[in-house]
Amino acid sequence: MFKLMFHEPRIPPNTGNAIRMVAGTGCELHLVGPLGFDLSEPKLKRAGLDYHDLASVTVHENLEAAWAAVEPARVFAFTAHATVSYADIAYQPGDVLLFGPEPTGLSAEVLADPHVTERLRIPMLPGRRSLNLSNAAALVTYEAWRQHGFSGAAL
C-alpha cells in the first residue's frame, strides 16, 4: 500500500526492525544505497527475525535507480527541519515515505530533489534531535495505514 524508503541506512537493527514492520503492514521497503552494512549481517537478521520472507524489500543502487523503479506520484521526505507535521497529511496508497540515514538525516540535496512532494516532521519536545529511524518509520507508516482503515489487517 505504501512505500517506505530508507536512503543510505547505516544501522542494521533499524533496517531489520523495518523489515519486520513492513511484513506486518503489507508495505514495501526500498533501501537506497550505498548501505552502511551487508544485508546478511547477523544484527539485521536478528532484528527482522523470521519476517524476511514475508516482507517486500528492494535494494536500489542509488536514488536515481530508486525513482526509476518506484515511479512515485508523491514523496514525503521526513526531516526535523520541516514545519508541516506528518499528522496533517492525507496519505494515499503508493505514497513514498522517505527517511534519511542515521545519524544525519536526509541531505539538503535529497530534500531538494524534484521528486519530493513535501517535507514533513514528527513533533518532539524542544532540544531533541530525532527519533530512532525504525520508530519514526513505524509511527508514520501506521498513521498512513490507519487513515485507510488498516486495509487488509485482521482487526
Q: List the grid coordinates of 118.
A: 513535501
Q: What is the dihedral of CA 64, 67, 68, 71, to 10 degrees?
A: -170
Mean pLDDT confidence for 12-40: 92
Fold of 3-148: Alpha/beta knot (3.40.1280)
Q: Distance between CA atoms of 96 and 2, rounded to whole angstroms?
A: 6
Segment 43-58 shows an average pLDDT of 71
Q: List the binding residues.
A: 100, 122, 130
Whether the predicted pLDDT of 8 surpasses 70: yes
The ranges assigned to domains in the chain are: 3-148
Q: Is the pTM of this model over 0.85?
A: yes
Q: Which residue numbers belong to the known binding site for S-adenosyl-L-methionine?
A: 100, 122, 130
**Cβ atoms < 10 Å from Cβ of 150:** 13
